[in-house]
């Protein structure tokens, strides 16, 4: 499982996904179905996300299937941006169709 901040045109969202890469075509399709066609994605250590989101993390994780799935953990852009320091973010991945 991966945790990632997806920076979109309307602000960042925090996701949990079982896809191996953040540019997996199936993940790209799922994001596109939510109106996200172009994005910058950065991985975050799952342990940090669990630490900061506690029970909400556990609830969302319980709903995440073991393969090919996506769950939005937080869609409040301000909250997502403020919860993590830049030093906790992985290398950015840029995607546009």
pLDDT tens digits for the chain (97 residues)? Answer: 899 999 999 999 999 998 999 999 999 999 999 999 999 999 999 999 999 999 888 888 777 665 558 889 999 999 999 999 999 999 999 999 9
Spatial separation of the C-alpha atoms in residues 70 and 97, rounded to whole Å: 19
List Cα–Cα distances, 54 to 38, 42, 81, in angstroms.
Answer: 30, 21, 17
pTM for the complete prediction? Answer: 0.89
Q: Give the count of beta carbons closer than 10 Å to the beta carbon of residue 79.
A: 13
Q: Tell me how far apart the alpha carbons of residues 13 and 6 are, in angstroms, rounded to a whole number.
A: 5
pLDDT at 68: 55
Query: How high is the pLDDT of residue 64?
Result: 61
């Amino acid at each position: 499982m991966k945790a990632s901040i997806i920076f979109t045109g309307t602000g960042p969202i925090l996701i949990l996904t079982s896809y191996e890469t953040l540019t997996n075509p199936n993940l790209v399709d799922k994001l596109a179905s939510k109106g996200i066609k172009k994005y910058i994605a950065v991985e975050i250590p799952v342990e940090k996300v669990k630490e900061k989101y506690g029970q909400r993390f556990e609830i969302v994780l319980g709903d995440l299937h073991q393969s090919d799935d996506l769950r939005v953990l937080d869609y409040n852009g301000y909250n997502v941006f403020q919860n993590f320091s830049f030093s906790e973010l992985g290398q950015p991945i840029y995607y546009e169709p």
